[in-house]
Amino acid sequence: MRFILSLLMLCAMLAAPPAMAQVASGLVATPRALPVASSATNRPFLAAGQAAQPVNLAAASYVEEEFVISGLASLYGWGATPADPVTASEAGAPYTTRLLLRRPSEARRFSGRVIVELLDAAQGYDSAPLWGLSHAYFLARGDVWVGVTLMPDAVAALQRFDPVRYAALAVAPAQPADCTPATAHSDLAWDIIAQTGALLRSSSKENPLLLFEPRQLIVAGYSQAGNQVVTYANALHEQLRLGGGGPVYDGFLVAASEPLSAPISGCAAPLAEGDARHAVLPRDVPFVAVMTQADVGRQRTSPRDDSDDAGDEYRRYEIAGSAHPALPAGQPAAADLAIAGFDADEPRCAEPRNDFPLDLALNAIWRQYHERLAAGTPMNREPRIETDSSGMPLRDDSGNVRGGWRLPQIELPLAVYANDAASHYPCSLAGSVQRYDGSKLKQLHGSRGEYLRRFQAAVDAAVQARRLTPEDAAALKASLAKAVPAF
């Protein structure tokens, strides 16, 4: 930990705020990385085996490791116009944060794919919604998953959880005297994101994946963290580069978040309303946005079109039926939240919570993304959810939304999956599910036997259309008889 302490001392020695300069394309620095030992009584926050829904990594021949990474980051501000590069402090500010890494125990099982998830701190602590949704997909294929802590609030929660293990973490720079941010921003996030990718691709002896050979790195974020992905893509992706000029990341993915830029800094001038940099700009790697049904009803801007243009590959998928909250495998356990100073009680909503399987659509999207990066196979273009003039989803005769990425559970529904944007937050994000009674099921589907036959055919059609993975299709068919009530 000697190196980490020296970085913190350097931070304290920095004097006046540095001048700002235009940022030209430059080589991304490789940060230092030190492993943090774990035991039964000294373990990471958000460890897979202690999540709200534990995941047994050993059973999948996986291991979990935590690393403290340290480096120097700049403070950035937007250029005057979208054509101008961002501005940056001439001197770097020291940071120390943590990486939570899950990888195959043997390098020969590694797929070559690395998912770098910016941990979501919307509730004030780290969560990993994308891991929670797609961990089974990652584990079955030998993917590496890396979670990155970025937000000052999340660091404070980590230090309450374990003041000794996380004592050295610091991601909040000293602010200029004339600036007092209204809220905590991740001012150093952009270099942390770039340097994390550079570390994982490097020949450094401290690279956690030194014995592996990453071929695809995708940086991803869910909800608030998705907006950080957009800012990095818009502001720094073209300017922070690897040796030879290549990009740090081969692609971007955001989910459950309107794809808009997060603030680049708590003290930087914000973008003007209508500035093109609020939304996803052209770039030289693919960008995928996955919207839940709940988020479609809350969007503030008109979504952009899909594109296969050179330098502007973009896909937007709107998942019919899906709600915003992710699955508990990506959430801290209630006991750990209590140690970190949080109340883990779920909101009490009037209706049963929407339990639509967003993970099935997301797994198919990951599969398409990996095929696009590995073999150049174009990703699907899918219809958007149909909306009225106010942007609210339209519904069909079954009560479910029209259009969107449609799984068999929407094509042949047993329930209405609703998200009322006017209802009380956070219940509007959680949504509701209203099961059909026997008479409604007969009206829609005739008989149970006919339904089972049609559903299996719909599953096969979804696999053929690449909206469902073959593995998820097999699991759906195996559980079908138990899932369908008598009618």
Evaluate whether 381 touches 306 at the Cβ level (below 8 Å).
yes
Higher-pLDDT residue of 91, 128:
128
Instruction: Say how far apart CA 333 and CA 357 lie, in whole Å.
Output: 21
Looking at the fold, whether 452 and 318 belong to one and the same domain comes out as no
The pLDDT of residue 366? 98
Instruction: Say how far apart CA 242 and CA 202 lie, in whole Å.
Output: 10
Q: Which residues contact 201 (CB under 8 A, 6 or more apart)?
A: 207, 214, 217, 242, 248
Q: Which residues of 146-184 are buried (b: 16+ CB within 10 A; e: fewer)?
A: bbbbbbbbbbbbbbebbeebbebbbbbbebeeeeeeeeb
Q: Is residue 399 part of a domain?
A: no
Under the banding of pLDDT at 50, 70 and 90, the label for residue 424 is: low
The pLDDT of residue 13? 32
Q: E strand or H helix at 97, and its extent? A: strand 93-104
The pLDDT of residue 3? 38
Looking at the fold, whether 155 and 301 belong to one and the same domain comes out as yes
DSSP codes joined into one string, 388-404: -TTSPBPB-TTSSBSBS
Q: Is residue 384 part of a domain?
A: no
Looking at the fold, whether 352 and 431 belong to one and the same domain comes out as no
The pLDDT of residue 183? 65
Instruction: Say how far apart CA 238 and CA 1 lie, in whole Å.
Output: 33
Q: Which residues of 371-401 are buried (b: 16+ CB within 10 A; e: fewer)?
A: ebbeeeeebeebebbbbeeeebbeeeebebb
Residue 422 predicted with pLDDT over 80? no
> What is Dmax (Cα atoms) for the chain?
76
* Mean local confidence (pLDDT), 42-57: 97
Looking at the fold, whether 279 and 179 belong to one and the same domain comes out as yes
Q: Strand pairing partners for 289?
A: 254, 316
The pLDDT of residue 17? 38
Residue ranges of E strands in 239-304? 240-241, 251-255, 283-292
Under the banding of pLDDT at 50, 70 and 90, the label for residue 414 is: very high
Looking at the fold, whether 324 and 458 belong to one and the same domain comes out as no
Last residue of a domain, which of 358, 375, 392?
A: 375
Residue 245: CATH number of its domain: 3.40.50.1820
Sheet order of strands, 20-22 included: 20-22, 87-89, 76-77
Evaluate whether 172 touches 180 at the Cβ level (below 8 Å).
no
Give percent of the chain with pLDDT exceeding 90. 75
Q: Is residue 334 part of a domain?
A: yes
Higher-pLDDT residue of 165, 271:
165
Q: Is residue 401 part of a domain?
A: no
pLDDT digits (tens, 9 = 90+) for 199-228: 999 999 999 999 999 999 999 999 999 999
Instruction: Tell me the pairing of strands 93-104 and 240-241.
Output: unpaired
* Mean local confidence (pLDDT), 238-253: 95
- Identify the DSSP state of 188: T
Under the banding of pLDDT at 50, 70 and 90, the label for residue 111 is: very high
Q: Which residues contact 398 (CB under 8 A, 6 or more apart)?
A: 413, 416, 444
Looking at the fold, whether 455 and 333 belong to one and the same domain comes out as no
Instruction: Tell me the pairing of strands 307-309 and 312-319.
Output: antiparallel
Higher-pLDDT residue of 12, 102:
102
Highest mean pLDDT out of 9-18, 71-80, 308-317, 384-393: 308-317
Q: Is residue 125 part of a domain?
A: yes
CA atoms within 13 A on the CB side of 251: 27
Closest C-alpha among 486, 400, 399 to residue 438: 486
The pLDDT of residue 463? 98
Q: Which residues contact 86 (CB under 8 A, 6 or more apart)?
A: 23, 76, 77, 78, 79, 235, 236, 239, 264
Structure tokens at 23: 């940022």
User: Is this model's pTM higher than 0.75 or not?
Assistant: yes
Looking at the fold, whether 357 and 466 belong to one and the same domain comes out as no
Looking at the fold, whether 421 and 371 belong to one and the same domain comes out as no
Residue 91 predicted with pLDDT over 70? no
Structurally, how many domains does the chain consist of?
A: 2
Looking at the fold, whether 163 and 20 belong to one and the same domain comes out as yes
Last residue of a domain, which of 347, 375, 403?
A: 375
Looking at the fold, whether 196 and 276 belong to one and the same domain comes out as yes
The pLDDT of residue 9? 34
- Identify the DSSP state of 232: I
Residue 21 predicted with pLDDT over 60? no
Q: Is residue 82 part of a domain?
A: yes
Domain that holds residue 463: 411-483
Looking at the fold, whether 322 and 276 belong to one and the same domain comes out as yes
Under the banding of pLDDT at 50, 70 and 90, the label for residue 238 is: very high
Higher-pLDDT residue of 354, 423:
354
Looking at the fold, whether 338 and 436 belong to one and the same domain comes out as no
Q: Is residue 129 part of a domain?
A: yes
Residue 359 predicted with pLDDT over 80? yes
Find where tokens 């720094």 sit. 236
Instruction: Kindly report the length of the chain.
Output: 487
Q: Is residue 464 part of a domain?
A: yes
Q: Establish whether the linkage from the previous residue to 357 is cis, with ω within 30° of 0.
A: no
Q: Strand pairing partners for 219?
A: 116, 252
pLDDT digits (tens, 9 = 90+) for 282-303: 999 999 999 999 998 777 778 9
Instruction: Say how far apart CA 356 and CA 410 lie, in whole Å.
Output: 9
